Amino acid sequence: MLQLPESWVWDSWYVFDGTLHHAFYLRASRALKDPNRRHRHPYIGHATSTDLVNWEVHSDAIAISDPPAFDSWTTWTGSVVKGDDGMWWIYYTGTSKEDGGDIQKIGAAKSKDLYSWEKISSKALVEADPKFYEMLDYNKWHDQAFRDPWVFKQDGLWHMLITARSIEGERFSRGVVGHATSQDMLTWSVQPPLTAPNGGFGQMEVFQVENVHGQAVLLWCCGPNELTPQLREKYPYGGMFSVVGDSLLGPFDITKSVWFPHTSIYAARIVEHKGKWYMLGFENETESGFGGRILDPIEVQIQGHGLVPASS
């Protein structure tokens, strides 16, 4: 379990360097008193582990930039991948004080060793394209969703999956898998979404796609207040969802998604360790309040159309 006495911890993402599992996560000081304030006061923390259970905490990886910058207000969820240049790249979400903090963009930093990071630019590398994705409109949604980049390489091309909203569909069902591609990891072209709207999700957060024992699976989360009324009645806690596909790029039929049977885990990732796959996510709301810690790993397997606990 990853728990910090001085900070709440929430969204996390992981990478294995051949010896250690590295966790990067959002954290915010408990001195804020109200955990709901954490979203506007985050740092990207860093810890390492050999077993996904016991963690050694290191210095923070990323903090906000001085304005003007795409990340002058917040640095939010992302992913880490080793580039063609041998460097580690962390892609992450930023919001800025200059535009009111409700327009999400994506930038990056690089590292030789996963411990010390240098931001590439004060300007975003990827922004929403209005041809495909909903722009800021408070009559439709509370922000301009374009965040949580998950980056991987397939068939010689870099792909980025992005939390985004379609320009079509019912208000609480516009959540889609946004998509961008790049040849060099630096210059990105925004593509149409990989999934169709009207799957029941107002937003699909913190994407991940992996080959689990030879089967491509897409993983995401959604809170109960962002589900359609029909799904909200079925899944009153919201939580983790997944669905299998033909490849890492789909197609994925979101209407066949499987809810992970855990009422408090959120923004979870799956991590391979010694040939098995485990889910790690933060403890969200419980009867005693906001958990704010990364729970111990839960072994998972694919059953039917998605992921379930391995003991199922």
pLDDT at 270: 98
Is the pTM for the entire model greater than 0.85? yes
Give the CA dihedral 213, 155, 120, 87, nearest 10 degrees.
60
What is the H or E stretch that residue 230 is in? Answer: helix 229-234
Burial 256-294, CB ≥16 within 10 A → b, else e: ebbbbebebbbbbbbbebeeebbbbbbbbbeeeebbbbb
> Residue 41 has which token pair?
């006061």
- Report d(CA 223, CA 188) in Å as an integer: 29
Please give the mean pLDDT across all residues of the chain. Answer: 97
Decide: 166 and 197 in contact? Cβ < 8 Å: yes
For residue 311, what pLDDT band results from cuts at 50, 70 and 90? confident
- Report d(CA 126, CA 286) in Å as an integer: 35
Decide: 218 and 252 in contact? Cβ < 8 Å: yes
State the maximum Cα–Cα separation within the chain, in Å, rounded to a whole number: 50
The predicted-structure confidence for 109-147, as pLDDT tens digits, reads as follows 999 999 999 999 999 999 999 999 999 999 999 999 999
Instruction: For residue 252, count other CB atoms closer than 10 A to its CB.
Output: 25
More confidently predicted of 177 and 287: 177
The predicted-structure confidence for 203-251, as pLDDT tens digits, reads as follows 999 999 999 999 999 999 999 999 999 999 999 999 999 999 999 999 9
pLDDT at 67: 96
The predicted-structure confidence for 253-306, as pLDDT tens digits, reads as follows 999 999 999 999 999 999 999 999 999 999 998 888 999 999 999 999 999 999
pLDDT at 160: 98
Decide: 237 and 226 in contact? Cβ < 8 Å: no
pLDDT at 312: 62
* Beta-strand pair 205-212/188-191: unpaired
What residue type is 8 in one-letter code?
W
Instruction: For residue 164, count other CB atoms closer than 10 A to its CB.
Output: 29
- Report d(CA 270, CA 310) in Å as an integer: 13
pLDDT at 144: 98
The predicted-structure confidence for 26-60, as pLDDT tens digits, reads as follows 999 999 999 999 999 999 999 999 999 999 999 99
